[in-house]
């Protein structure tokens, strides 16, 4: 008589249909590799912007160098700030998987809009040599400027959501109570750094070279294709993922809620200490004066 294989469920994790995740069916290194590939494609698509966007703002959109650098820092800073908000939304309302998938689609749309604007001259200011001191270059304005900033900040929001949720969604594929999966989780985070480096190498060499030598539309277009591949690879693992159940709160919210309570308890403890100190001092005063004379 054949023994039925025991089904092991993973506590706190569900599949894409909301059923409790099964250990040998969902999660593990096979889904982790899909997440790693997604992160590699995402970094390949976006890291080139960090080093070459000033050149695009100055040479194509005709911003002054100082303004171009300021626009880049605004774009980067917005992404970092939004990553905190995205993490709260993921833990509290939408879940990491949905937030990650929506954010990746936002990133794809932002890169696609940049590609369209870089391809069509009508969506750019007139061509001008910004390095010629006698030339008067027209800066991007109106609807074209609106398109540029909409694309950039859609991209920033998408990148923030991906970076806030993808590593933690990768960690969700492993059970911390299982020694074997704990070791696999450690390997996953090592490979995560490798994925960042590999994506960054391609982005900072090949894509930057294409942007500078073949055209910005080609460079942005390849980034868009890389992001699309990342979305496809990530979505292909949908039936196999372990998905963290929505908690209804987040660590940041809990810290904010805890701080007033801690301060109140601290003030009460301080008041009690002062009262005890005053009582002790009064007792010493009586012992030294009243009892001595008596």
Q: How many helices (H) and strands (E) does the chain have?
A: 9, 3
Task: Give CA–CA dist 201/207, Å, rounded.
Answer: 9
So what's the pLDDT on residue 136?
83
Q: Locate all alpha helices (DSSP H) within 60-141, ordered by sequence.
A: 65-89, 96-119
Domain ranges of the chain: 9-248, 252-293
Q: Which CATH code of 3.30.70.260, 1.20.1250.20, 3.30.2310.20, 2.60.40.1080 fits the domain covering 9-248?
A: 1.20.1250.20
So what's the pLDDT on residue 2?
43
**Pick from 160, 151, 154: which is nearest to 81 by CA?**
160
- Per residue in 229-266, pLDDT (tens digit) is 999 999 999 999 999 888 766 666 667 765 555 555 65
Percent of the chain with pLDDT over 90: 63
- Per residue in 128-141, pLDDT (tens digit) is 888 877 788 889 99
* 4 band by pLDDT with thresholds 50, 70 and 90: very low
Q: Is 61 exposed, middle or buried (0-12, 13-18, 19+ CB in 10 A)?
A: buried
Looking at the whole model, is its pTM more than 0.75?
A: yes
Task: Give CA–CA dist 220/46, Å, rounded.
Answer: 9
So what's the pLDDT on residue 134?
77
Instruction: Judge whether 29 and 188 are in contact, CB under 8 Å.
Output: yes
So what's the pLDDT on residue 287?
57
- Per residue in 163-187, pLDDT (tens digit) is 999 999 999 999 988 899 999 999 9
pLDDT at 116 over 90: yes
Residue 175, SS3 per DSSP: coil
Helix (H) or strand (E) holding 243: strand 243-244
């Amino acid at each position: 008589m054949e023994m039925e294989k025991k089904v092991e469920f993973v506590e706190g994790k569900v599949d894409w249909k909301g059923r409790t995740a099964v250990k040998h069916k969902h999660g593990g290194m096979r889904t982790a590799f899909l997440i790693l590939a997604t992160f590699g494609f995402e970094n390949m698509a976006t890291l080139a912007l960090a080093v070459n966007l000033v050149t695009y703002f100055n040479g194509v959109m005709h911003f002054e160098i100082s303004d171009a650098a300021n626009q880049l820092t605004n774009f980067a800073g917005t992404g970092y700030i939004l990553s905190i908000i995205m993490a709260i939304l993921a833990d509290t309302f939408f879940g990491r998987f949905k937030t990650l998938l929506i954010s990746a689609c936002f990133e794809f749309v932002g890169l696609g809009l940049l590609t369209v604007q870089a391809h069509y001259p009508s969506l750019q200011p007139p061509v001008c040599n910004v390095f010629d001191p006698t030339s008067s270059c027209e800066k991007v304005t109106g609807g074209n400027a609106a398109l540029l900033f909409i694309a950039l900040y859609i991209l920033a929001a998408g990148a923030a959501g991906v970076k806030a949720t993808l590593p933690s969604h990768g960690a969700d594929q492993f059970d911390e109570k299982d020694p074997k999966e704990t070791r696999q989780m450690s390997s996953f985070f090592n490979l995560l750094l490798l994925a960042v480096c590999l994506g960054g190498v391609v982005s900072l060499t090949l894509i930057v070279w294409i942007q500078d030598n073949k055209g910005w539309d080609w460079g942005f277009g390849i980034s868009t294709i890389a992001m699309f591949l990342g979305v496809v690879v990530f979505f292909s693992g949908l039936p196999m993922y372990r998905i963290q159940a929505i908690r209804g709160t987040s660590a940041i919210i809990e810290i904010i809620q805890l701080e007033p309570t801690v301060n109140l308890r601290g003030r009460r403890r301080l008041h009690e200490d002062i009262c005890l100190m005053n009582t002790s001092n009064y007792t010493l005063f009586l012992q030294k004066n009243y009892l001595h004379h008596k």
